[in-house]
Each structure stands twice: as C-alpha cells, then as structure tokens.
Amino acid sequence: MRQLIGHTFSTLRKRQGIHVKELTAGIISESEYYRFVNGTIDISMVKFLLLLSRLNISFEEFAFLSENIDVSKPLTHFSKGKSVSLNNATNFKLSITFYQSHAQIPPKPVIEKSISYLLDSESWTYDDLLLFSKTIYFFPCKQRLALLQRAIKGFKKYNGFKQNIADYFKFLCQLLLIAWDRKDLKLAKKFMHQLLEMRFHPNDFFELSLQSFFKAVLLYLSEPTDNNRFQIRTIVESFKHLNLLQGESSLLIKASLSYLELSI
C-alpha cells in the first residue's frame, strides 16, 4: 500500500512539473518526501492532504487516478494513530473535513481535541470559526449553545467568511437548527431572514429551494392560514420528489415543522 500510494504521488508530481522543494516547503523535508514516495515511511493524514492541495488534487481524484486504490484503504492507512498529533484549528479542520467528505464520523480523539481546543480559545481566529462550523453537531447541547454567541461575534470580525457564500449559508442553517432546538423563535427568524438575504446563481438549486421553504415558514408564522400551510406542504413535497429531503435539509425541515406543529 505504501509503495502504491507513493508511486502514484510521485507520478502526479512529475506530470505537473512541480519541483520537490516547491511541493514540500513548510510541510515535510525533502528527505521525508523521498522516503514517503519510496514506501519506507508513513506521513500524517494532515501532511498528506496538504501535499495533495499543492498538487491541486482532491483525495477522490487521487484515489481515482491511482486506479487500484480503494478509498476506504487510504482512509485507514492515513488515519490510524495520526489524528492525536493535531494541535491547531487548521489541522483540526482538515481532519474533520477529511472524514466528513467520505461520510465517516471522525474518531473520538479528533472530536474531543477539537471541542477542547475551541472551548479553551477565548478569541477565535478565522480557522476557529470554520472549525466550529464543521464540528457544531459533535458538541453537547449546553456547550453548543454557549459557543453560539462566540460564533456570531466571529461573523462580524471575519467578513471573508460571509464572502464564501456556500459555507456561510450552510453555517447559518446549522445555527438555525440550534435556534429551533432552543425553541427560540426570535433567533430562528433572525437566521431565516439572513438566509433569505443571500443571493445565489440560478443553478444553485438546493440553496434556492431551502430559501423558498424559509420564506414560506416566515409567512406562515406571520399569517398561520390554511393557504400558507398548503404552501409549506407543496414545497416539502417538491423536496421529496427531487430527493432533496435528506441530510441537513431533512433535519432543518423536520425541526421547523416540529416547532410549527405541522405534520406533512
């Protein structure tokens, strides 16, 4: 496995014409790189992902180009015993993203160290905010609520987070779920209005569909008529028909309907 991964990595680097010094700078030494591609040593998952980013290749693309590499095997290969060495928000975020991109729950040490790190950080950096957006559901409820205000302050401090519209939309949806869990209607309305203020390309069907749902919910909250209830029902049925009622969208819609005491 080591030799196969190393050979593939070396081949991709050569095809792109990237020098070893340029590829490894600040990540691993050149001697470590050569030992890695020759299959004599392992490198941590975080370092591996950083090297892949220098090649501008995703993990899925790497697995595909390797042909005979099963994605599940590299996952195990690079994760065992490596996660506990993580010690900052950037590395935590990479680790969480790595597992989530393959629909896997991060190992308990990664979750625990991520939570501990954020709880101990009074003033969040931009990467801290991104890390929280990826780990929010792993926090116990009380800790999640305690960190909510800290996250909101982060929005004001880091405008760049808002400019990454896809991440910001997803994060606001997560915060909306917290508001529903708290049965905090005022906060839920605030987040829904913020979500509706965002502008998307016509091809961003998922985000636009959720916006139509939030708009219908707000309308029903202001005027709980049969017609507005029917509007919500119609949107939810369209989600089912288009197979969009899954994952986070399913949680959001169910939480919203539960608060409204609607059964659809």
**pTM of the model as a whole:** 0.51
Residue 142: both structure tokens together: 């009380």
Q: Which of 45-49, 83-87, 104-108 has the highest mean pLDDT?
A: 45-49
Using the predicted structure, report yes or no on whether residue 220 has a pLDDT greater than 90: yes
- The per-residue pLDDT for 50 is 82
* Residue 156 φ then ψ, to 5°: -70, -30
Using the predicted structure, report yes or no on whether residue 101 has a pLDDT greater than 60: no
d(CA 91, CA 97): 10
Segment 165-200, tens digit of pLDDT: 777 787 788 788 878 888 889 989 999 999 999 888
Using the predicted structure, report yes or no on whether residue 222 has a pLDDT greater than 90: yes
d(CA 219, CA 70): 49
Using the predicted structure, report yes or no on whether residue 263 has a pLDDT greater than 60: yes
Distances in Å between the Cα of 239 and the Cα atoms of 11, 44, 206, 245, 258 are 44, 40, 9, 5, 17
- The per-residue pLDDT for 72 is 41
Segment 17-44, tens digit of pLDDT: 889 999 999 899 999 898 888 878 777 7
Q: Is 117 helix (H, G, I), strand (E, B) or coil?
A: helix
